[in-house]
Structures are given as C-alpha cells and as structure tokens.
Amino acid sequence: MAVALPRPHRFDVYVAVGGLLGGLLLVGIGLGVRTSGDPVTLLDGPWPVLVPLCVMAGCELLRRTAPRTALLTGTVAITADTLTQGNVATVLMFTDLVYAAVLYGPPASARRIPWITGLLTVAGMLVPFAVWRDPETLLIGVVIGVVAFGPAATGWIVRDHRDAAVAARLRAEQTALLAEMDRTQAVTAERARMARELHDMVANHLSAIAIHSTAALSIDDPGTSKEALSVIRENSVAGLTEMRRLIGILRDAGSDTAPAAAPTLDGLASLVEGARANGLDIRLDADHGSVPAPVELAAYRIVQESLTNALKHACPGRVTVALGRRDGVLDVRVSSPYGHRDGPRAPGSGAGLVGMRERAALLGGTFTAGPDGALWAVRATLPLTEGDPE
C-alpha cells in the first residue's frame, strides 16, 4: 500500500527553488567554495557539485513535514559536497535544515541536535589541533560551529519562545474559560436562590388563596364566603409585601442602600398564626436561641414551605413544628397527618421539596422528607457554623 507523502509547505518550495537556482548560478559563473586542484577536492570540476546541490534542494521540501529525514539526508549531501569544489548554496541550505530540524522536529530531536552539534564543534577544534599542532586548524571547529551549532542554537531559541507563546495563549484561554464557567455558575446559583425565595414567599400565600377561594365558590353561605374573602385579602396583602421585598432586594443589589431585612426565626409565631388562620391546627415548640443569619433564613423558609405543603396535602389533624439546638446544629422538624385523600387542596409543582433540600445542602446540612407511620415528617439539620457542602 503506497503511503502518500505530505505536501510541502509553500514557503519550503520557495526555499528549495531559490537555493537550487542560486546554486546553479554559482556553478554557472564558476564560483565554488574551493578552487580547482585543491588537495581536499577529490571530485574536480563543476558538475559533481550539482548532485549534492539537487539533493539538498530536495531536502528543503521536507524541512517542515519530515525534518529528521531531511537533516539525515542533508548530512550525507553536505559530506559529499566536501569532496567536490563545494557550493555556498548547498552549505546555506544545510544550515537551514539544521535550524528546521530543531524548530519543527520532535522534542527529543530538538534537545539532542544542539548538544550533538556543540560536541562536533568542540571536537572539530581540539582534534585537528592535537594532531597537527597548527592554530589554523581551530578554524575547522569554527566552520562547524557556524554551519551546524549556530543554526541549531538559533532553532532552539526560536522554538523555546514559540512554545512559551503557545503556553501563554493556552493559559489565557484556560483562564478565560474558567472565568466564563465561574460566571455561569454564579448566574445559575443566583437564579436558583431567587427561585427558592420566590417560591417560598409566594407559594404559601397563593395556596391559601386557592383553598379559600375554592371554599367560597363551593359553599353557598354568605358568612363562609366573607370569612374566605377576608383570608384571601390577608394573604394577598402579605404576598404583595413579600414580592415588594424581593423586588427591593433585586433593585438594591450593588447599591449603597441596605436591602429589606430577611425574615428571621422571631417571625415564626406570626407565620404559625397565619397558618392557623388558614385552617391548620399547629403546635409550635421553638427553643433555638441565637443562630447565624444564613441558618435562620434557611430554617424559616423550610418551616414556611412545610406549612404550605401541610395546608395543601395534609389530612385533618395537628401539625407539629419543633426547632432545637443540639451538638452544634439546629434541628428543624415539621410533622403533619399523612394518609389518603381525594387529591391536594391546591396544585403543587414539587419545587418546594427541591428548594428545602438545596437550602440545607448549601449550609452543609441534611434534609429528609417522607412518610413516618401516620405522619409526613420533614426534618432538616443545619450546622450552626457554616460548613462546606458536600
């Protein structure tokens, strides 16, 4: 199966054609590295110079796509060129192959080539001098350094700068990506927080409105209708007040004005009284003392949502609300009669349980809700020192 060779880069084609034409021009005018009759020249005449020149030009086509192959082949060609009168274009193209092998080759080759050429440069200076004891022989090492070590060192420097630029670009892209992820997570978390607040504030009042409006429509009794309308009005006003508080928080975000105060556990009594007015039989047992503000808000909202669910789903009977401190946590328990009904007194979305579970998890606490014998039990444990959520 034939393997398709990679297509040369356009710049590499220009380099190869330019080097070949320049070398042919030098051959045409009779300009070589060594003169005819030089003792080093084994293949005299202008025509033997063309073979290394053409091979080197062909290697230039591979300087980017196959740099190691091009360098090895070019090394053979430059060695053959030393047996002829030589051509400056061949030497220049070889220096470019050394440079390209370091710049475009594999990392291992890029590290080895400067060391190898550096050792050859030192050996080219010391060995001839040790053999012939002639200071002029030191120039052999200088030539090797110019032709081989210099391009290799230059290629390493350029590659190092290029890799550093690529790494810096990748770090910048990664930083931008992380910033965008943080922004997205912050927006998502804020939306979830506002959704919980909106649900917990409005659901209780709207559930009461739905239940009492149903009673007013189904019972043909002026007294009952008037009482239901009174409860509807109270819940409408309370819901509107909560909505205004939430809108005030949103509008005051980032400004110097202080937002409206969030509900606290001191308001549980009023919350329970409102639930009793909606028809629930509630017993409140609260012994919590002073707790951190985030824990206080979460506990209040969990009790509020539990009472809303009891109003919509619980069977007739007593609802118990208990709050107490123990072992560094605030324990919140709400239980209501559980059994079979024809259906809920008001429709629900299921978002309430999700919101209560999220509130507990954000504080590093736990939350459970489900049937416990003849009761539906809601329990949350909220650490009094803010912990990391799991």
172-189, pLDDT tens digit by residue?
A: 999 888 888 888 888 888
Q: Which residue has the higher pLDDT, 333 or 245?
A: 333
The answer, yes or no, to whether residue 88 has pLDDT greater than 60, is yes
Radius of gyration of the chain (CA): 43
The answer, yes or no, to whether residue 240 has pLDDT greater than 80, is no
DSSP annotation of 146: I
Cβ atoms 274, 283 nearer than 8 A: no
Cβ-based neighbours of 106, under 8 Å, separated by 6 or more: 68
Question: Where is average pLDDT lowest: 10-14, 133-137, 287-291, 341-345?
Answer: 341-345
Cβ atoms 54, 16 nearer than 8 A: no
DSSP annotation of 149: I
Question: Where is average pLDDT lowest: 55-64, 75-84, 132-141?
Answer: 132-141
Segment 287-299 shows an average pLDDT of 86
Query: What is the pLDDT, as a whole number, of residue 272?
Result: 86
Query: What is the pLDDT, as a whole number, of residue 169?
Result: 92
248-288, pLDDT tens digit by residue?
A: 666 665 554 444 556 788 888 888 888 887 778 889 888 88
The answer, yes or no, to whether residue 10 has pLDDT greater than 50, is yes
3.40.50.150, 3.40.50.10190, 1.20.210.10, 3.30.565.10: CATH of 265-390: 3.30.565.10
Query: What is the pLDDT, as a whole number, of residue 390?
Result: 40
Q: What's the distance, CA 290 to chain centroid?
A: 40
State the span(s) of the chain assigned CATH 3.30.565.10.
Answer: 265-390
Query: What is the pLDDT, as a whole number, of residue 331?
Result: 93
Query: What is the pLDDT, as a whole number, of residue 229?
Result: 72
DSSP annotation of 135: G
Q: Is the dihedral of CA 265, 247, 345, 276 positive or negative?
A: positive
Cβ atoms 216, 229 nearer than 8 A: yes
pLDDT band at 354 (very low <50, low <70, confident <90, very high): confident
Query: What is the pLDDT, as a whole number, of residue 218?
Result: 66
| Rounded Cα distance, 35 and 256, in Å | 89
| Rounded Cα distance, 158 and 303, in Å | 67
- Share the mean pLDDT of the chain: 82
Query: What is the pLDDT, as a whole number, of residue 58?
Result: 94
The answer, yes or no, to whether residue 213 has pLDDT greater than 60, is yes
Token pair for residue 130? 């040790």
| Rounded Cα distance, 146 and 149, in Å | 6
CA angle (46, 50, 54) in 5-degree steps: 165
**What pTM value is reported for the model?**
0.55
Question: Where is average pLDDT lowest: 55-59, 147-151, 240-244, 278-282?
Answer: 240-244
Q: Which residue has the higher pLDDT, 264 or 238?
A: 264
Q: Is the dihedral of CA 295, 296, 297, 303 positive or negative?
A: positive
324-335, pLDDT tens digit by residue?
A: 988 889 999 999
Centre a 10 Å sphere on the Cβ of residue 214 and count the other Cβ atoms it contains. Answer: 13
